Amino acid sequence: MILQAKNITKIYGKGQTAFVALDRVSFSVARGESVAIIGKSGSGKSTLMHVLAALDRVNSGTIACNSKDYESLRASQLDGLRSKHFGFIFQQFFLNGRETVLENVLLPLKIAGVGYGARKKRALAALEAVDLTDKKNNRATDLSGGQKQRAAIARALVNDPEVIFADEPTGNLDSENGARVEELLFSLNRKKGITLIIVTHDDDLAKKCDRQFYMKDGQLTEAKKK
Amino acid sequence: MKILDIALTANRNLWRSKLRTMLTILAIFIGGFTLTLTTALNTGASQYLDRQLGNIAVPGIFEVTPKVDFNPVGGDDGLREYDPDNKPASFDSFYSASMTQEDIDKVKKVEGIESVVPMYQVASEYIIGTTGKKFALNMVQQNFGLNLDLASGRHLKANDTASVVMPEGYLQALGMDAQHAINNKVTIAYKDRTGKVIERQFTIVGVARKAIVTTGTVHMDVNSVKTMAEDQGQPERYLELIATFKDANESTDESALKARLEGAGTYTATSFKESIGTLTTVVGAITAALNVVGIIALLAASFGIINTLLMSVYERTQEIGLMKALGMRRGKVFLLFAFEAALVGFWGSVVAVGAAIGASALINNYASANFLKDFEGFTLLVVNPGGALFVIGLIMLIAFVAGTLPAIKASRLNPIEALRSE
C-alpha cells in the first residue's frame, strides 16, 4: 500500500459550530492504482485529498505514505514528501500567468533544489510528454484552458512523483480538452506506474479509474465492483 | 529551494510591480542619500582635521592650569570663607594668572617630567624683513607642544635663542621665499613696560605651512619669549604652565601622566592631544546629529517597505499557497520575502550611494571655489568605500528587518486556504 489512512477524522471549528469533514474514514491505495473519490461539494472529498497529500493534519487516526506515519514526521519532512513524491493538479490550474510555461513547469524542481541545467532538461522532457514543447517560451496566461491543464500536468510529473493528486482536473475544460487531459493522466498511470488519486464529481471520469469511492457527509464508501 | 534561486526569484518578483517598487526604492533612496552625504561630511571633516591637527600635538605635553571653582561668590549665598587653594574663578584674566614659581617647582617634581615652563603673555609691534619695510605684527607665540607642518628648516628647540619659525604666507612681503628664508634675519619690535620700543634680531630656523590653527603666527623660542615678557613687565604669575614628559610617544597612556600632574597640586592638566580630540568629538557630534536625520528618513521608508510587501503577500497569496503545496518550506518562503525587502534596500542604497558620489563631486567643486577657498586641502565630502559599504549594509539590514513582518505573514499562510482564495 502506498497510501494508508486508518480511522481518520477531521473537524473544522469548535463547539457548536464544529463541522465534521471526515468521519472515521479508512482508505488505502496500492502502488500504481488509479482511484476516484466522488462526491458533491461539501461532502469532504477535497478534505480527504488534502490530508492524504499532507497539506493538512487530521484530528485523529493515522495516515501513512510508504508506511511512514505523517504524525511522526516533522513539517519539513512532510514538505519534502510533497516535493519529492507527490504531484498536484488543480481545477483552476494555478499557473503563474506572468512566467513562461517552462518556468511554471520547473517550479517543483526549483523548490526541491535541483540545479539549473538538470531542472531545465527535466522540464523540457515533461513538456514533451504533454506535447507542449512548442509553447515552452509562451507566457502561461497566453495558453488555452486545455493547454494550461496540460502544462499543469507537466508540472505535476516533472519531479517523477509516485502519486499524482488531481482535484477536478477536467472541471474547467470542454469535453474535447477534458478527454485529452484524461487520456494523458491514465497513460501516465499505465506507462510510468504513477498512482492516481482523482477527486471529481464526474462519474464518467470516475469510471475510468480502477476503483471508485463515494464521499457523503464525511463518510467514505467504496463502490461495488461491477 | 537554493539560496541563489530564492534571491533571483525575489529580485524578479520585486520588478513585477515596477511603479510600486520604484516608489518604495525612492523612499529608501532619500534616506540613503542623506546618510551617505552626512557620513561623507564626517569623513571629509575628520580627514581634514586629522591632516591639520593629527600630528600637530606632540605627545606628552600638557597645559597645567589651576583648578578653579566656577561657582560665583556672593549673591544669595553671601560670603564664603577664603581658601587659597580653592579660589573662585576671576573674570580678570590677568589677575587669575595665579601659577607661580612655587607651582613650577611642584610640577617639576612630578615623576618623568622633562621640563616645565610658564606660558608667557607677550605682545609685539612690528616686523622688518630684508626689504627694510615695517609690517604690523601684534602677536608672537611661544613655542610649545605643536608639531608645525614645516615647508623648510627645523622645529624650535628648548635651548634655542633669538630664533623664530615664520609662517610661509609672510615671507613674500618680507622679501624672502620658503626655500631661501632659512638663516635669514628678521627684526621684531615690541614695547617695554615704559612704552619704549625695543627691536631685536631673530634668525629664521623654520618655515611653517598654512594650517588652520597656526596660520599667521610667528613662533618664537621660549628663551626669547621669556626675555620679552620680562621687558614687558609680566608679573611672575602665569595663566598656565607647559609641562613636558620625557620619552612620551604616540602609544603613551596620557591619562596616567595627567593623573600624576593633577595629583601634584590643585591643578587641571590637559594634553594637546586631548584638546584636539575634543575638536574631533565636536565634528563627530554634529555629523551624528545629521545622521539621525538620515536614519529617521530610513525608518519612515521601512514602513513603506512593510506596506509594499504586505500588499505583495496579499496579491500573491495563491502563488505562495502553490509553492507551499509543492513542498516549499516555511523558512524558504520567509526568506523569499525577506530577500525581496533586502533587495529594495540594496537597490535603493546602491543608487543613493551612486548619486551621493556624484553630488559630492559637484558640491566639492563648488565649495572649494567658494566658501572653502581659504581651506586648502579641505575636501568637504569624502565618500570612502568602507563608508559606502557600511551605508549599503545598514540599509539592507533595516530593509530586511522591515521585511520580516510581511515575510512571517507569508510563511504562515495555510496552503489550502491560500489556494482556495480568489
pLDDT, residue B93, reads 54
The residue in chain B having the minimum alpha-carbon distance to the alpha carbon of residue A106 is B326
The segments of chain A whose pLDDT lies below 70 read 225-226
pLDDT, residue B290, reads 83
| Distances B63 to B35, B275, B280 between C-alpha atoms, Å | 38, 10, 19
pLDDT (mean) for B312-339 = 93
Q: Does B322 touch chain A (CB under 8 A)?
A: yes
We report the CATH number of the domain holding residue A177 as: 3.40.50.300
Q: Cα separation of B104 and B108, whole Å?
A: 6
Is the distance from CB of B357 to CB of A109 less than 8 angstroms?
Answer: no
Q: Please identify, among B271, B296, B319, the residue that sits at the C-terminal boundary of a domain.
A: B271
Residues belonging to chain A? 226
Contact A90 B419 (CB under 8 A): yes
pLDDT, residue B25, reads 93
* Cell numbers given for B319: 502563488
pLDDT, residue B270, reads 86
- Same domain? For B283 and B262 the reply is no
Q: Please identify, among B271, B288, B308, the residue that sits at the C-terminal boundary of a domain.
A: B271
Q: Please identify, among B240, B271, B302, the residue that sits at the C-terminal boundary of a domain.
A: B271
pLDDT (mean) for B10-27 = 90
Q: Which of B306, B16, B335 is nearest to A96 (CA)?
A: B16
pLDDT, residue B283, reads 79
Sheet harboring A60-65: ordered strands across? A19-29, A3-12, A60-65, A68-69
Q: How many separate domains does chain B show?
A: 2
| ipTM at complex level | 0.93
- Same domain? For B211 and B262 the reply is yes
- Same domain? For B227 and B338 the reply is no
**Residue B114 in this model has a pLDDT that exceeds 80:** yes
- Same domain? For B318 and B249 the reply is no
- Same domain? For B234 and B350 the reply is no
Q: Cα separation of B131 and B141, whole Å?
A: 23
Pick from A76, A111, A113: CB nearest B326: A111
Residue type, B284: G
Q: Does A10 touch chain B (CB under 8 A)?
A: no
Q: Does B265 touch chain A (CB under 8 A)?
A: no
Q: Cα separation of B50 and B167, whole Å?
A: 20
Give per-residue pLDDT as tens, B256-300: 888 888 888 888 888 877 777 777 788 788 888 888 888 888 888
- Same domain? For B209 and B283 the reply is no
Residue ranges of E strands in B154-213: 163-167, 185-191, 197-208
- Same domain? For B48 and B119 the reply is no
Of the pLDDT bands very low, low, confident and very high (cuts 50, 70, 90), residue B139 is: confident
| Cα atoms in the Cβ-side hemisphere of radius 13 Å centred on A160 | 5
- State the smallest CA–CA distance between residue B308 and chain A in angstroms: 19
**Residue B337 in this model has a pLDDT that exceeds 80:** yes
Give per-residue pLDDT as tens, B150-173: 888 888 888 889 999 988 888 888
Buried (b) or exposed (e) across B14-44, using 16+ Cβ within 10 A?
Answer: beeeeeebeebbebbbbbbbbbbbbbbbbbb
Give per-residue pLDDT as tens, B381-405: 888 888 899 999 999 999 999 999 9
Give per-residue pLDDT as tens, B50-103: 777 666 677 888 888 887 766 656 556 667 777 766 666 555 555 567 788 888
pLDDT, residue A171, reads 87
Cell 519529492 belongs to: A84
Please provide residue A40's backbone torsions phi and psi, each rounded to the nearest 5 degrees: -75, 170
Element (H, E) at B294: helix B272-315
* Cell numbers given for A96: 503563474
User: Please, where are the H alpha helices in B131-221?
Assistant: 168-171
- Same domain? For B181 and B48 the reply is no
- State the smallest CA–CA distance between residue B329 and chain A in angstroms: 6
- Same domain? For B75 and B212 the reply is yes
pLDDT, residue A198, reads 95
As a whole number, the mean pLDDT across chain B is: 85
Q: Give the pTM.
A: 0.72
* Cell numbers given for B209: 605651512
Q: How many separate domains does chain A show?
A: 1
Q: How many CB atoms lie within 10 A of CB B140?
A: 22
Residue range(s) defining the domain that contains residue B141: 61-271
Residue range(s) defining the domain that contains residue A52: 3-222
- Same domain? For B247 and B282 the reply is no
Give per-residue pLDDT as tens, B220-247: 998 899 999 889 888 788 888 888 888 8
